[in-house]
Structure formats: structure tokens, C-alpha cells
Structure 1
Amino acid sequence: MMRFQDKIALVTGGRSGIGQAIARRLRDEGARVFTAQRSQDTEFEWLPADFTDPTSPAQVVTELVSRAGRLDVLVNNAGLMQESSVEAMSCEDWQRNLMVNLTAPFLMIQAALPYLRRTQGSIVNVGSIEALGSNPGHAAYCASKAGLHGLTRAVAVDHGAEGIRCNAIAPGWIDTDLNVDFIESMPDPVAFRRDIARIHPVARTGKPEEVASLVAFLAAGEAGFCTGQIYTVDGGRTAKLSLP
């Protein structure tokens, strides 16, 4: 299936993890894919970006359009998670988390809208199930991802008549390199894997490629009536009530 033949896609944070899986899926379906992050990407065309800098998003979009001439798909995937209690978190750290997870996607969308308007393009934001519930010590992450879900709906409402769709996905536990390394750092990784599988009705954690499949669907024309929605990808975790 080549749903993105002759299309230009931009994936922020596309060098690793979920972002890399998304970039690969879009490429495999015909897109010319650019990734944007601090580190150089040897697999895709790379746009250097520092999403703690509010000038970076516009620079990324300008450079992409100068090289590719258009933009069809924007995936806001780059993110930051910092563990801290509310009392212990400084205002500076709070603002940095909101900048990367919420303000940078806002600025990316703002810069991309004129070009997406021309192509009847699509935006997919990578939120989190932590916009719906919280793990301990994740106040800034939860707040920023909840804001991203709200931004998704607002963009869909404001720009739907222009042919621009905006959706978000809310992944749960996905086996990225970071999460796999975390499991391996546990005193008993086998027991930890067993315990975390138990909280998922599908009895396992997710794969980055499974998230990428949904992103590709939402970005493609066949999802033309899907906009302003948050799609949870968590193996049923948030649907399952805890035992007494």
C-alpha cells in the first residue's frame, strides 16, 4: 500500500522510538520523510531542532519547505518526561516540560498551517494515556499531554473547513529502547515484565510499529472523516479496573 506516494511528511523526534517507527512506516508507504530533533538522523533527511527554543519550529518548517516545496503530514512526536513531585519541581523545569510537549507542537502547527492548507494536509499529535490518568511524579508531563489533547481538538475545530485534519494518539506502555532499558535495570526483569503484562488485557506491552500503524491511518486520506479525536493505544490498560 502506497498511501503517501509523492507526499512530504515531517516527524519531530523521529530518530528513535515511536517517532522512528512512524517515520519508517510513512516512508514505506511512499512518503519523503524528514525528521527534526537535536541529534543527526542518518536514516532520514534531518532538520536540526531544539524544541526548548521557541524560534526552532518555524525554522524547521521553513527549511523543510525550501527543500521539499510542500508539506502534507505533520507528526508532533518529540517529547520530554521529567519525574518530580509538584513541590520539588522548579518553575524553570515546569516551563521546559510545557515548552517541549505543548508549546513546541503549537508553534509547529502554527508554522505549518499555511502549507497544510495548500495540500489539505493532516496533523497527528503524539499524546499519552497520562493525559487521562497519572503515574506518580509526572505532574508536568500529564499537564502538558492533556494540553496537547486539548490543542488537537481546537485545531480540528478551527481548521477543518480548510481541509486540515488534526488527531492525536495516546500511547500506553510501548517497548521503546528507553522502556526496554528501564525493564532490564530492574532487580528482576522477568518478574517486572510479568507484572506489567498483567495490567494489560492483551497480556503484553505494545510495539512502536503498532502505534505507527494508527498514525499512518490517521494521516492518510482514508481517514478523511476522522478529526479532533484522541485514539488510545494501550492494549486495554485504561479500560481495565484494578482488583480490590
Structure 2
Amino acid sequence: MKRFDGKVALVTGGRSGIGLAIARRLRDEGARVFTAQRGEDHEFEGIAADFTIPASASGTVEEVHERAGRLDVLINNAGIMQEALVEEMSLDDWQKTMAVNITAPFVMIKAALPHLRVCGGTIVNIGSIEGLGSNPKHAAYCASKAAVHGLTRAVAVDHSAEGVRCNAVAPGWIDTDLNQDFIGSMPDPAAFRRNIRKIHPVGRTGKPEEVASLVAWLASSESSFVTGQVWTIDGGRMAKLSLPQ
């Protein structure tokens, strides 16, 4: 028996990056996997969704239930990042970040809870180490991810007794295509790679598959006594104090 045989999972933003790794891991362990994002997904059962619109988020959950008859695992992974100082960021950009990064997970959870109660389902939210600290010009992103962590704890407190567990993971630097493209845009990509490795006690950056492994454990019955927690997965970066250069 695989851990997710007979179960149905929904992964938002499951077409690329960390979301794709999670979707593949759940599928490989037996789950029927739906993904939701803009555009088509040719690998999984994709649902077109615009997470700036709350009705699109709740409609995604209902479509999964209509097509599969159940929902066992909800992974809130979709997110956006916009760089700007507080004084520079428009209200529209701030609200767009909040809509995708925290309002959509709230709406997804609200819509999913009736279905998750039936099967003792699980929720895993994708937060960030930037919900714990901050990089420059990331005020909106940091605020939204800190909110994801808070929502995770609140949902666990309110609904774990109903059989619905809720946890979050807080990834650090992960080698997604987006991050690789960012490194490639640097004046000296090789030097940037060397420097970013140095800030990690493990001596390297992370892989999407490593995040997926943690998410799969949290979504499985193996973690049945774990709820309301934010699991940092960052190669020790947040544990390391910086020294003068």
C-alpha cells in the first residue's frame, strides 16, 4: 500500500516549481492529483483558476469534489512575489499579493473543510522563511507569508478535533526554475551561486523534491499527532548567525 492510495489531493500552483514536485510525489504515492493555476496542466488533472478572485478559489475546491467525489489533501502552494519598498508599492500591488498569498488559501480552506471532515483530511500550506525574517523590498511577501503561518495555527486550533489537521512548511532558497533564472540574471552567476551556498550550513541550496518529501509526510497519516506547526526547511540558513565580512 502506498501512503495515498485511494485519496484525492488538490495542489494549487502545481504546474511548476515546488508545487510540481509535490504533485508528482503525491501521485507517485498513489493519490489522484488535481492542480489549479492559470492555464492548462498537461501532466495532471488541471483546473484553470485565477487566485486573485475569491470565487475562483472556492470554485476550484467544488470542482474537485464534483469530479472525484471526495477531497483528502489540500496543498495551498500558489503564490506571487513583488519587490518594492513600502513607499514604492502601490495599493493595488499590495492587495494582489494578499489576494493570492493569503486570501486564496483562506477561501480554499473554508471551501474544503466540509469535505475534509468527512475523510479526516489534511491541509499543508506553503509559507516561507520570509514569514519569519525578511529580504530587502519584500514587505508584501513577508506580510502575506507570516499571515499564512498564523492562519495555519488558527485552523489547527479550531479544526484538529474534527479530524482535520493543518500544518505549514517554510522553505528557504529552493532551486526552482524561477530562482535559477534569477541567478542567471546576475552579473556573475557563478559568484552568486558560491555566495548563496555559503549562507547555508549544509553548503548548498535546496531541491523542490526535498520540500515535497516533507509535505508528503505532513499530509500522510504518519504525522497524525502533528498539527498547527510551521516546519522550516532551509538547510540551516535561519539557524546561522551572520559574521562581519
Query: Would the TM-score normalized by the shorter structure come out above 0.5?
Result: yes
The residue aligned with 1:41 is 41
The residue aligned with 1:62 is 62
Aligned equivalents of 1:187, 1:20: Cα separation in 2: 29
The amino acid that maps onto 1:227 is: T
The residue aligned with 1:199 is 199
The residue aligned with 1:218 is 218
Shift of 1:2: 1.0
Shift of 1:185: 1.5
Partner of 1:225, secondary structure, is coil
Shift of 1:25: 0.2
Aligned equivalents of 1:150, 1:186: Cα separation in 2: 34
Q: Does 1:114 align with 2:114?
A: yes
| TM-score normalised by length of structure 1 | 0.99
4+ runs deviating over 3 angstroms? none
Q: Does 1:131 align with 2:116?
A: no
Aligned equivalents of 2:154, 2:143: Cα separation in 1: 17
Which residues of 2 match residues 55-204 of structure 1 at below 5 A? 55-204=55-204
Please list the CA deviations of residues 146-199 of structure 1 after superposition, one character each: whole Å capped at 9, or x if unmatched: 000000000000001100000000000000001011111212111111000000
The residue aligned with 1:209 is 209
- Structure 2 unmatched runs, 5+: none
The amino acid that maps onto 1:121 is: G
Aligned equivalents of 2:139, 2:99: Cα separation in 1: 14
Shift of 1:5: 0.2
The amino acid that maps onto 1:134 is: S
Shift of 1:121: 0.2
Aligned equivalents of 1:155, 1:17: Cα separation in 2: 26
Shift of 1:58: 1.3
Shift of 1:130: 0.2
RMSD of aligned Cα (Å): 0.6
The amino acid that maps onto 2:160 is: G
Please list the CA deviations of residues 113-151 of structure 1 after superposition, one character each: whole Å capped at 9, or x if unmatched: 000000100000000000000000000000000000000
Aligned equivalents of 1:199, 1:106: Cα separation in 2: 33
- Count of residues in Structure 1 that have an aligned counterpart in Structure 2: 244
Please list the CA deviations of residues 70-92 of structure 1 after superposition, one character each: whole Å capped at 9, or x if unmatched: 00000000001000100011111
Partner of 1:124, secondary structure, is strand
Aligned equivalents of 1:85, 1:181: Cα separation in 2: 23
Range with greater deviation from structure 2 (177-186 or 113-122): 177-186
Aligned equivalents of 1:62, 1:127: Cα separation in 2: 24
Identity of aligned residues (%): 73
Aligned equivalents of 1:54, 1:212: Cα separation in 2: 26
Partner of 2:54, secondary structure, is coil
Aligned equivalents of 2:188, 2:99: Cα separation in 1: 36
